[in-house]
Every structure is written in structure tokens, then in C-alpha cells.
Chain A
Amino acid sequence: MSNVVSALQGASFDDGIAKVEEMGLLGMITLRGDFADKKLIKAVKKIAGGMPDQRVIVEKNGQSAAWMSPDELLLIVPHAEAAGVAEGLNASLQGTHFLAVNVSDARAVFDVSGPHARSVMAKLAPVDFAEGAFEAGVIRRSRLAQIPAAFWMTQDGAFRVVCFRSVAKYAFDVLCVAAQKGSEVSAS
């Protein structure tokens, strides 16, 4: 599959107050539909183990479902399986009004890690990143400086950031600027 490449092919930065890495491709499916619909709930649970509440991301066996809006979820699966999962949803939800579409390649994914990761994120996104306010299980669909972005925390305490593929370079660069040497904030 050498023909399949992520936007920045794994660029990384570790010369500042946090580590910034472009992760490989993730499978992502936009699912729009009625959250009260039993078929939809069942299908989402089968993929991610549960239905997420507002601003919540649930995860099971490496597959996730994230709340995006009152009628939109983001399903996260291995990249190679995304097309199959979308097709599966098309089959299992037939007869209801919904939209399932593979958006895996429209995205770029980054991890921001290290003891100052919260500060680095708080320089770019208008979100409360204080401990206790933002923990694993929370997802925010917000912005990173001048671009739309969604982010949540992984189990190992890193921030996973998702943005559009076309602005991957900007996202990486602006994260590196925010993580520059000597820019610790240390605000609790």
C-alpha cells in the first residue's frame, strides 16, 4: 500500500516544550442520522461499544464514536476498514433516513504529547484545557488558530488533533510554533 500516504508522511517535532507528530491515516466515517433511532444506536454500539453523549468520545477495541453535533457522529476505525464500515452502515441502516460517508482521506491526524501539551493546545484553541476540565473521553469540535479542528485525549495523556488534510502543513507548523522552546506557561 505504498501508494497510500498521509498528508505529511509522518512529520514530527520534538525540539520544544511538547512533541508534535503526524500520525498515519485513520479511518473516519461521518454518520448523520437520528440518535434516537434503534437501528442507528445498535450499529454505532457494534462499532464503538456505545453511543456518545454531547462532547463525548467513546472507545472500544481501538474503534471510537465521537459526538459532532445533535445529528452527526464521527466513527473512527482502522483506515483500511473505513470503506467497509461505511458500506456496512449503508446496509444495516437501510430503510431509515441517514448518511454514512467515508471521510478518512479528507483528514490529517496529529498527536501532541508531553508535560506541557495542555499549554500548547491552549495557545491555539479557545477551550478550557485545565486538568479536570478536559480529560480522556472529552471531544471538542473547535478550532486550532485559524483552522477548524477536533481534538480529544488518548489514554496515554496525549492530545489527538484532527483537521482537514489540505491544511495539514499549517496545523503541524502552528503546533510547532506553539511548542517552541522557552514558551512554557505553567498555568494551572
Chain B
Amino acid sequence: MSTRLKQGGRFTNGGAQLSFDFNGKQLKGVEGDTLASALLANDQMLIGRSFKYHRPRGIVASGGEEPNALFNMGYTDDFEPNQRATVTELFDGLKIASQNHWPSLEFDVGAINKYLSRFLPAGFYYKMFIHPRPLWKHVYEPFIRHSAGLGKAPRAEDRDKDTYEHFYHFTDVMVIGGGIAGLQAAKAAALSGVRVLLVEQTAHWGGRAPVDGGEVDGTPITEVIDTLVAELEAMDNVTMRTRLMGAGVYDHGYVLGYERLRDHCPEEAGPRHRLWRIRAGQIITATGAIERPISFAGNDIPGVMLASAVRDYAVNYGVSVGDRTIVVTNNDDAYRTAITMKGLGLDVPCIIDARVGGAGALGDEARALGIRVETGKGIAKVKGGKRVTGVVMCSQVGEGAMVEEFECDAVAMSGGWSPVVHLWSHCGGKLTWDEQQSHFRPDSERPPLGATGEGFVSVAGSANGHMQLAELIGDAHGAGLAAAKAVGGASVKSKFPEGTPTAENPVEPVWLMPQGAGIDLRAKAWLDFQNDVKVSDVQLAAQEGFESVEHAKRYTTLGMATDQGKLSNINGLAILSDALGQPIPQTGTTTFRPPYTPISMGAIGGEARGKVFQPLRKTPLYEWSDTHGSDWEPVGAWRRPFAYLQPGESLHDAVNREVKNTRENLGLLDASTLGKLVVKGPDAGKFLDMLYTNMMSTLKPGKCRYGLMCNENGFLIDDGVVARIDEDTFLCHTTTGGADTIHGHMEEWLQTEWWDWNVYVANVTEQFAQIAVVGPNARKVLEKLGGMDVSKEALGFMEWADGTIGGYDARVYRISFSGELSYEIAVPASQGLAFWEALVEAGAEFGAMPYGTETLHILRAEKGFIMIGDETDGTVIPQDLNLQWALSKKKEDYLGKRAHLRSHMADPTRWKLVGLETLDKSVLPDGAYAVEDGVNANGQRNMFGRVTSTYYSANLERGIAMGLVKNGPDRMGEVIDFPKVDGTIIKAKIVDPVIYDAEGAKQNV
């Protein structure tokens, strides 16, 4: 059984007692524990069920590579699935539940799948569920979703109570990994005076060096680490962060760092996670190495663990995984585990070494401690169900015939070490196969390249394939110096540290144990613990023609789980290579993609949630409108009042009231969102003639003109009123949504095409609050406020003037989008609210009421005025909207002119704008299509028109609409059919789109 040792561990010694909840059981741990070490201390060997076959699973590793120990964590608002126990620091009150079992962890119905495993081979789902097609969506997928899957999704009604943030950081050299190599590299780089950022994903500096031991320059490694940390902390140019993982490396020295601030102390105030967005001149990946499992039958039974993890739990947390631990290995390093366990007074019945030659100095040390060592042997199978009870030893070269059986409660396995090459590889660093060490390591000749063609990532320590302290410490020092030099750091003289050499025998590759294992053993030899992929699955994939490693991965799902195959990839591709009869480097690796281990969605979203999820744009009148019944409508990022509801009024009633009141009395509209672009310069007229389809250069100062804008493909992109301010200056009104895009459009043409034209543009949209004063009483209220002459004679239709109204500096445009007598008045934004309130007060006696965007739409639709975005959708040209009058024939060129000559643009059968009058007076659905007999090539009903704008008109007491209809203007009076989604049909008569005051008499008074 696994248990807590009396002597304590490096991280837990002296720690306070903590309690936590596991599947409703109260368990104890101590401060300094990870969730994994605490579970083991409670002899909780079985911690979950596997993904596909629901096999009992235990903890395998001690770090971020752990595939099995994933938990649903928290209750409601703090619930999060797939939390990895090995990297979860224990805190008091932590609550977890194991995943993927029903009804309970101990008794799981889904475990029947393991008896069906021969019917669930690689590619089973692809083969089984492809036919008949409709069954996938309605039968197979819902079933599989119920039975498969890891953690639960959070409940829809729960809200994460934590906050998150981003942080931008700039540094010269970034060192990823705070083990001995990272510390040494950071120090070497920092000596030159450049800015250094050193990050470590765990809570502790030093990595696994203190567990493995050794000396540098004659000093024990733990002292070396303490000294390095102290030196770095004292340097002003060094920033050090623990609990910060280098998650991804991207082009231009961009690195994402994932800092876990409150996971270990959730009750403290402050953000839970912080996403560091780092720009580094040079990046050093000192990311260490990960031990590989060995593929033997039953290697997934709880109690089978990586040898390094067994050692970590003992040394760091004072937890023994078992009383009797069998060590199985193909390298010397695992002997350290046996020696450690023996040293703690625990039993190690045997070290099973697959190598005939056995180990070097560590082998002698083990034997001297009385540990039995068997060389040239392997494990035929592990015995046990929910925990290990024993192993069957066999000859490694045979087929698994028993040589001897051992009783044990833990198996420490080591298949060799793979450098963590992920961050090196994210941005294109290449790998080389190291034949001697049987692993892929970074090829320092082929690093990720920066903008100058020079490498911007280097690698240090065991991540670089240097598995011995003697080699790696100097390698790391050199990497630090080189990185500092590459970013222009001062050159410094420094002594290279020297590690004490060790005499180890080389690792020998063991991809399957025993070498000649038959199908019954191979079908129980797990490669990918999290996705339940076995040796036999990969072999089957190869047999079925999935020869590319990327194809085999997707077919078998090897390495596709949340651990991204950290333990399984190399073993899997070795099996694949063997099955294909080709060397491992020829098979290659799958692609390493960020993040290194999963990071929270909260960290990615950062601060953007709740009230700062998205910026809302507000006019100076927003607060007033909000307190006067505004029903808000999003218009781009703006919020505009759709209508102003009076107490007890429905939205529909409010709109009808506003429509009638504006036609009969006086309406006030917040038009501040309309784009206002100042265009100035001696070539401004020429420039606007190119941008608008009609002529702007002939406009006289003091006058206004409506204009259309097309893009170079001839499609309508904007419209609005242009006012000429003086000889050189125009003010162009754009649509609300067009203000920024048209500003950009103007700048693009000025900067890229007509760069020699003397024109400047400035966007002054927000400088002004612009208020439309609309209706028969519009002039009366302005005259009452007084200050300037707004009579027809002084300020005619389509003219503007500067002056004051009621004491406010105002620019008044006599323009109308409603067909009524109308003034649009621009005042400085800071005075907007006061001016609006003055209008409301002075207008009371004239029936003044604010109106919203829906009334604006209805009034313009009654007049047959088009709206960009309703009548246009990016495929509509002015001719479609009967706006030929606005296409200048005098101008030699303007944007869109040439496009309009294309055959399709000149096609007489294009759908054209008409009015639509429903026979039953109902309101047509927006976007409804007009249909005729027959079907098209896709089997769809033939269509010949669609509704573009549709409203209820309170003035006419019926629905009004506009639409685009094939040959529409030639079909006046014809009745056409618009089917509704409920299957009924609305009949509508084609009419003139201008319904209200066709002569324009009412706006010109």
C-alpha cells in the first residue's frame, strides 16, 4: 500500500494538516502536497477510469505529463473538469470527484467495455458508425457522448467566480524552466546585464536535480540551487516567476506564459490566472526531460508508475508508493529509485533490467545495498486489477514465458528519457534522433528562425539531450552566455561550472516487453493511457495502411488526449516504425503545438468578461436616454435607442407613437453616431469626385449634397450627406457603421494610390453631439431658443450654417431623412446633453418627443429612402436601387464606374428596388423571398425577389416594405407571393417605393 513516511519530504516537512474531499470521502494531506501525493498518502491507488474501456487507473507520473489523474474539481461556480492532480497544489477544503465512471469508481458498469475490447480496435468508430449516415447524428453520437468523455462540462447556470488577466512583458532573454539548467542559463545570461525573465511551471526552483543528487564544483546540488536562486534574486535585471509555465513559443520571440496565481490559495483576493504575453529577444528552453513508460502487459494497472515519479513522491512528499516495489528499466537512472526506496527502509524485491549488460556504478551501489538485480529480463505481465499484486518476470528476448513471479504492490518503470522538445518545436525548431540515447533531441543547427534569419530559440540542459549533470551544467551556462551575446549583452568572463561525472551504462531501446510478446500481451500493453491506445492498435493501424505518423495518430487517437501524448508519443512511433520496418527518424514525430499543457479558458479571455467583455460606444446622450425609457439596439459597437418607452407602453406602441408624433408635431433624434469626416486640401474636391459616384467638386460652400460611395467592384458601401465648408474643406457624413471603415477607405486610397494628392482626412465623429430636430414644429422650437436665422430664406433645404442656438455653438444642416421639415444640429459633445435638454424643454409646448432608430427607419422607408445594410448587402449596386441619377456621366472616372460596365452589372434582369404593399395589410417578414413555379439546379424553389426593409406604418395603418424584385420597376401593380416559414403565403402588390409625399413638399418648407 502507498502511505506517508515518517521522515517527511522536501516540500511537505513541517507542513500543516489539510483536509480535502475525494468522491465524498474526507481525506487528509499536508501543506506542500500536491493532490496526487496526498491521494497516494491515503493509499488511494485507484483514482479514475480510463476513457474507452473504463479500466481502473492510478497515478503514473509526478508532473505535467500525468495522463490519468484528472479530476472534476470544485462545486458550482468554481467547478472545473480535467484538473491534473500532479500539478494541483493541495489546499484546505479542496473538493474533487473522479471522472468517467458510473455509478461509482469502485464499481463501474462501463468496465464491460474491456471485455469487448477485441471488438473495439483502432478505427472502430470510423468503421462502425459511418453507415447509414443519418444514424450518426441521431443515434451513435448521442450514445458515444454519453458513454465516453473525461470531465463533466460545467453547468450552464454556473458562472466562474474568479477573475483573470493578461500581462505584457518585454525581456531580452527568456529562460523557460527553473531547474538546474534554467537557473544556470539565466545566471550566465544575466551576468552581461541584459534583462532576463526566468519562469518555472511548478512552485519550486531546481527541478528534479535535488531528487537525483550530484555535485557541481564539489558542492552538493541542493546548495548549488539555493546559491543560484539567491544570486538571481539579487540581480535587478532578472525577473523570476514560479507557477508560470511557458505555454507556447511563436514567431518574433513571442511567448505565452501561464501563471497560476491563486490555484493554491483560492480564497485570497486577486486574479486566479494571468496570461503573460511576452516579447523576448532570445528564448532558452530549459524544459528538462520526461521519463518514458515501458510497454508490457498490464502496465496501466494502478501501482505501475514511472520510476522517477516513485522517487519524487518519496523524496519530495515523503510518500511511499508501495512497500514492495519492483523496478523495471532499460537504463541506469531507474536504479536511483531502487536505491532511494531501499534507503527509506522499503523493500525492493528486484530490479529487472532488460539490458544483458546491466548498469554501471549505480548497479554496483544497488547490489551493495542488497538489492537483487536481474539483467536481460523483462516483465511478461503485471498481476492485479484495481491495484498491483505482483509481476511475472520473463526473458526480454523471449515471448513471455515465466521465469519467476514476484509479489509486489508497486512497479517503477523506466523506458529511458525523452527531452521536452515542445517549446523548441512550436515555432519550427527541428529535431534529430539520438541513436545512442534513443530519443529525439533538438538539432541546434536548425533552430526556429527570427526575422533576421538567425535562430531565436536555444536549448539547455536535459532538454538538449544532456542527461548527466556533468554535461548539462556547462551546456546551460554556455546557452545563457550565447543568448545574452545574441541580444547585444556585454561580454563577460566567467568560469564554466563543472559537474561531477558519473559512470553510467547507455540506455538500450525497449519498445515492447518482452520483445516477442504475442497478441494477448500486446493487447494489454498500453501506449496512451489517457486515450486507451495499445501496442496492438498501432500495429493494426500500420497494417491497415496508416503509414504516416500523422494518419496513424488520428486513426488510433494516440497522443490526442489532453496530455497530448507526453508519455506515449515516442513509444507509439517506435511501435509504428517497427510495424512498418523502417527506422524511427524516418517515421518522425507528430507536430508539437502550443500550449504545452492545457491552460484555462479564463486566462485566454483575460479581463474580458462581465462589464468589460466588450467595449460599448455611448453617445453624450446615452445616460439621458437610459433614464427615459430607451430600449437599446446594438448598431455596431454603439448602443442606440430603438424607441423610448413611456410607462406602461409596449415597444410596438412606443414606435407607433413616435412615428405619428414626428410626422404631426416634433421629433428629436440622437444622430451623434453618424460618421463625420473632415476632408481638406487643394485636391479634396478631386478626391471626393473619385470616392463618390456623383459630383462633389461642384458643390458650393454652404451647400449639402447626398452622395453614394461604391467600392472598386461597383458595390454600394456607404451613403450620406456631404457639406462643403469652404473652398478646400468638406465634411462627409457617413453611416453609423461606416465612420471607421470609410475613414480607413479614404486613408488607404490616399496613402497607397493617390499619395501625391494634397488631401488630409480627420475623423471628427465623436467631437459632436448631433441632434435631428424633425417635424412640422421643428422651426418653431429653434426660433424659440433663438440665436440664428433658421428661416427657409436664410437656411434653405440642403444648406448649412454656423451660429448659435439657445446660446450653444451650433452647426445646423437642413437635411432630412424623414421627409419632414428637419434640421440636424451639431454641437460640441461636451455640450450635447445640455443642448438636448434645452430642446426637450423648449419643445414641450410643440409636442416634442424623442424617437429612436425604428421610427427613423419607418419614416425613411415611407419616403423610399434606402438604408445601407438593409437595401444593400455587399452585392447591390446603385442601379439596383434606381439611383442612376446619382451616377455622374460627366466624370471621367470614380470608384465603381468601371466595374459597372461588367456584363453582370449591366444585366437588365438584376433584381431592382420596388415598394411592396401587402393585400391583407400585414407586415412581410424581413428577408422573405418571392417565389415562382419550378425549382433550380439545387432542387430549391425558384425565387425572383426578396424583402429588404419591412415595417408597420402607423401613419398608413398597414405594413410597408421595400424589396428587390426581378424586373420589378416594370411590374407595377403585379401581385407576388411571399411564403412564410409557417407555410402560409402573403400576397403583396408591387408599388412605387415612395409612399409618403412623393413631391417632397413637406421637407422643403
Contacts and interface: CB of A to CB of B under 8 A. Distances in A.
Interface of A: 2-7, 25, 30, 32-33, 71, 79, 97-99, 101-107, 119, 122-130, 133, 145-147, 164-170, 173-174, 177-178, 180-185, 187-188
B811 to A, nearest CB: 12
Nearest to B829: A105
A150 to B, nearest CB: 15
Given A98-B760, A174-B612, A105 B830 contact: yes
Interface string B135-173: 000000000000000000000000000010111111000
A73 B830 CA distance: 22
A146 B615 contact: yes
28 contacts: A2-B834, A3-B831, A3-B834, A33-B760, A101-B678, A101-B767, A105-B767, A105-B768, A105-B831, A107-B766, A119-B167, A122-B169, A123-B167, A123-B168, A126-B277, A128-B168, A129-B168, A130-B195, A164-B766, A170-B612, A174-B612, A178-B607, A180-B163, A182-B269, A182-B271, A187-B239, A188-B237, A188-B239
B271 A165 contact: no
B381 interface: no
Contacts of A106: 764-767, 829
A77 to B, nearest CB: 15
B270 interface: yes
Interface string B746-788: 0000000000001011101111100000000000000000000
B682 A97 contact: yes
Contacts of B168: 122-123, 125-129
B493 to A, nearest CB: 26
Nearest to B268: A182
B681 interface: yes
Interface residues of B, number: 54
Given A174-B612, A181-B269, A104 B834 contact: no
B167 A185 contact: yes
A169 B622 CA distance: 11
- Central interface residue in B239, B615, B762, by most chain A CB within 10 Å: B615
Contacts of B999: none
A4 B830 contact: yes
B169 A181 contact: no
Contacts of B760: 32-33, 71, 97-99
B638 interface: yes
Contacts of A107: 766
Interface of B: 163, 165-170, 195, 236-237, 239, 241, 268-271, 274, 277, 279, 606-608, 611-612, 614-620, 637-638, 678, 680-682, 758, 760-762, 764-768, 808, 828-831, 833-835
Nearest to B726: A90
A99 B761 CA distance: 8
Contacts of B831: 3-4, 105
Contacts of B614: 146
B615 A167 contact: yes
Contacts of A25: 830
A5 B830 CA distance: 5
A145 B607 contact: yes
B141 to A, nearest CB: 37
Nearest to B613: A146
Contacts of B615: 145-147, 167, 170
A182 B239 CA distance: 19
Contact of B165 (A123, A125, A167): A123
B167 A177 contact: no
Given A5-B833, A105-B768, A106-B829, A97 B758 contact: yes
B167 A122 contact: yes
A12 B311 CA distance: 55
Contacts of B269: 180-182
Given A145-B608, A177-B612, A182-B269, A32 B239 contact: no
A6 B830 contact: yes
Contacts of B270: 180-184
Contacts of A127: 168
Nearest to B768: A105
Contact of B762 (A103, A164, A177, A182): A103
A115 to B, nearest CB: 16
A107 B764 CA distance: 10
A107 B828 CA distance: 11
A174 B611 CA distance: 9
